[in-house]
Amino acid sequence: MRDVYVIGTGIHPWEGFSEKVFADFAAVAVGRALKDAEIEWKKIQSIMAGIFIYGGNAGHLSGQYLESIFGETGVPVVNVYNACATGSAAIRMAFNSVAAGEADTALAFGADVSPKGFLTAKSDNAVQDRDVIRWKMTAMPNPVYWALECRKRMAKYDTTEEDLAQVKVLMSEYGSKNPDARFKKAYSLDEVLKSAYVCDPLRLYEICPVSTGAAAVIVTADKELIRKADRPVKINATTMGSSMYGDPTIRISALSCPAVPEAPMLSESYSASRQAYEKSGMGPQDVDLLELPDNSSWHYLVYLEVCGFCKEGEAEKMLRDGETRIGGKVAVNPSGGFSSHGEALSAQAIWQVIECASQLRGRCGPRQVENPKVAMAQTYGLMGNSGTTILSV
């Protein structure tokens, strides 16, 4: 297997609902990635495209639609969907293609124009689609699942409403300094605590909305392109995990969970992160900055534990002691996280990897982590999908 490097990244800034088509956003992100890598389109030998699930046939063939803009060159195109971990799957496939020698240079991208309101079921077939069942039976949007888990945590570990609010305060501090973030207001603790409950105990400012955005990464093993690149970043591991039997998490789209835990919580992310540690020969102690999926303030806390950055029930102390701030033990979500961006399904995991790469390349200005060497991106998706990527300089 060959060493693989990120040499180009591109983002279309996150925004709210748009009437524009997803390919318009994708073209901006890919164009910026090509410019960053200082290569022409014809240098791309393989394309891994995140499916835009709401885009019908066009969205399901997002790679071909992108080719129709930049030019059809005959290279292999794979369209992939793994719910909110779609971008992780695209990056993993691009990495594997280059590492195995099938291609020297590959593109992974995702673009999403999310619908207004909550993410709902994609079909109306209650016979085979569990997502339809949960909407028809209980009309439970995703934040309800997060709130139920958060209540369990509060009862078990004495998590306070101030802890949950403080996550938003910190994320908004970083998001206010990120030109690609959708939300750029820095909130005070009082403002967060006065925001309305969406699903008790989670308030409006403590959950992320759906958003529109696009992100693209160019990876290569071509030594000449690596040599010419502006501070290339090595991919040490990129993995996918799925759920394990006996996971006690109240999994989105299900209506029950095991009475007796027989596997780690959020087992898909536990699996993906442990695979990444094994493949990279690194561990949480080596990571200088971490991008985790803070779909809610609860996620921020639980993922520190699931990924091994502290023991169960210790995440609140890390937060209170400033260990997750820039300059602390590990800088968590210096991008501002999903809290400042929102979810853009097929793009968000790629955006997380771009943030890691940008930090390692020293490009993040007022939210720059000091001299980082190792970065990790972690995201998860519906029905037990998760991806982890570890990068280094």
pLDDT average, residue stretch 165-172:
98
Residue finishing a domain among 178, 198, 233: 233
> Domain holding 357: CATH number?
3.40.47.10
DSSP secondary structure string, 266-286? THHHHHHHHHHHHHHT--GGG
Q: What is the DSSP letter of 296?
A: B
Residues 203 and 218 occupy one common structural domain? no
Query: How confident is the model at residue 393, as a pLDDT?
Result: 98
The reported pLDDT for the residue numbered 119 is 85
Torsion, Cα 149 151 155 160, to 10 degrees, reads: 120
Checking if the pLDDT of 259 tops 90, the result is: no
> 114 or 51: which carries more pLDDT confidence?
51
Mean pLDDT of 86-111: 98
% of residues, the chain, pLDDT over 70: 100
Tell me how far apart the alpha carbons of residues 393 and 370 are, in angstroms, rounded to a whole number: 13
Which pairing describes strands 77-80 and 46-50: parallel, antiparallel, or unpaired?
Answer: parallel
Distance CA 320, CA 344 (A): 29
Nearest to 213 by CA among 355, 392, 388: 355
| pLDDT tens-digit series, residues 272-324 | 999 999 999 999 999 999 999 999 999 999 999 999 999 999 999 999 999 99
Residue 124 maps to a domain = no
pLDDT in tens, 324-366: 999 999 999 999 999 999 999 999 999 999 999 999 999 999 9
d(CA 261, CA 98): 39
Structural domains counted in the chain: 2
Residues 166 and 304 in one domain: yes
**Same structural domain, 41 and 147:** no
Distance CA 49, CA 216 (A): 9
Q: Are residues 203 and 97 in the same domain?
A: no
Quick: pLDDT tens for 182-211: 999 999 999 999 999 999 999 999 999 999
CB within 8 A of 180, min separation 6: which ones?
11, 13, 14, 335, 341, 351
pLDDT band of 120, cuts 50, 70, 90: confident
Taking phi over 0 as left and psi of -120 to 50 as alpha, with beta for the rest, 327 belongs to left
Q: Are residues 161 and 228 in the same domain?
A: no
166 pLDDT band (50/70/90 cuts)? very high
* 96 domain-assigned: yes
Same domain, 101 and 248: no
> What pLDDT is stored for residue 118 in this prediction?
85
| 239 and 349 assigned to the same domain | yes
- DSSP E strands, the chain: 5-15, 46-50, 77-80, 105-113, 197-199, 202-203, 212-220, 233-242, 289-291, 331-332, 374-381, 385-392
Considering the chain, what percentage of its residues have pLDDT values greater than 90?
90
pLDDT at 214: 98
Whether residue 203 lies inside any domain: the answer is yes
Q: Which two tokens mark 307?
A: 């990924």
Tell whether 172 is covered by a domain. yes
Evaluate if residue 115 carries a pLDDT over 90.
no
Q: Which two tokens stand for residue 115?
A: 């619908």
Q: Quote the pLDDT of residue 388.
A: 98
Do 381 and 230 touch, CB atoms closer than 8 A? no
Q: What is the pTM of this model?
A: 0.96
Residue 131 lies in a domain: no
Whether 129 is in a domain gets the answer no
Could you tell me if 297 and 356 lie in one domain? yes
Are 198 and 313 found together in one domain? yes
Report how far apart the first and last C-alpha atoms of the chain are (Å, whole number): 19
pLDDT beyond 90 at 114: no
Reported as a pLDDT band with limits 50, 70 and 90, residue 257 is confident
Instruction: Point out which residues pair with 108 in neighbouring strands.
Output: 48, 217
| The pLDDT of residue 6 is above 90 | yes
Residue 311 lies in a domain: yes
Q: Look at residue 116 and tell me whether its pLDDT is greater than 90.
A: no
pLDDT score at 322:
98
241 and 218 belong to one structural domain:
no
Pair (357, 221) in one structural domain:
no
**CA 372, 376, 377, 378 torsion-angle sign:** negative
Residue 155 lies in a domain: yes
Alpha helices, H only, 217-336 = 223-228, 267-280, 297-306, 315-320
The answer to whether residue 258 scores a pLDDT higher than 90 is no
Full domain range(s) for residue 87: 5-117+212-233
Check residue 199 and give its pLDDT: 95
Q: In the structure, what pLDDT confidence band is assigned to residue 254 with cuts at 50, 70 and 90?
A: confident
Residue 291 and residue 191 share a domain: yes
Q: What's the CA gap between 280 and 83, in Å, rounded?
A: 25
The CA-based angle 235-213-112, given to 5 degrees, is: 95
Q: Is the pLDDT of residue 173 over 90?
A: yes
- Give the pLDDT confidence score for residue 256 in this predicted structure: 85
Q: Is the pLDDT of residue 255 over 90?
A: no
